[in-house]
Amino acid sequence: MKLIKLVLFFSAVCVLHIACVEVLLELEIKRFLIKSYLFLFLLSLFSMGFMYLLNKLKNKSPFHLLSVNMIKIIASVLYLLPFLSNKTEITIYYIIHFFIAYFIILIKEGRENYTKLKAENSH
């Protein structure tokens, strides 16, 4: 059920982002945004799986959360590397819209972690 909610969230945000970019900014970066959201979805699945594994092992060190986020940052930079090396006029738009998507997902994950932590502390 959680996976279905995650897929629906990513799909809705992706469609909304693409609609805003094409209608308001008149940019043709639809393929890039779809690939970016797919990449961020896979990163989010990796993060959730790793955190689930750590919770199963009863290991709640802050270092593990930091290392998962560091892996996500490095993976994001590696994903953007071909666009960074290709200095064209549209490159800056690619990077900006990738990080808009990245921070939307980051805020969602942070909110989920906060509510989960709040629920654990109230018990």
Tokens (6 digits) for 49: 């799986």
Look at residue 49 in the predicted model and tell me its pLDDT. 87
pLDDT tens by residue, 61-95:
778 778 888 999 999 999 999 888 888 888 888 89
121: enclosing H helix or E strand: helix 91-122
User: In the structure encoding, which two tokens stand for residue 3, read together?
Assistant: 């996976």
Query: What pLDDT score was predicted for residue 47?
Result: 87
Q: What is the pLDDT at residue 76?
A: 93
Structure tokens at 64: 């593990």
Alpha-carbon gap, residue 98 to 80, rounded angstroms: 9
pLDDT tens-digit series, residues 29-69: 888 889 999 999 999 888 888 888 887 887 667 787 788 88
Q: Which domain holds residue 79?
A: 2-122
* Number of domains the chain is built from: 1
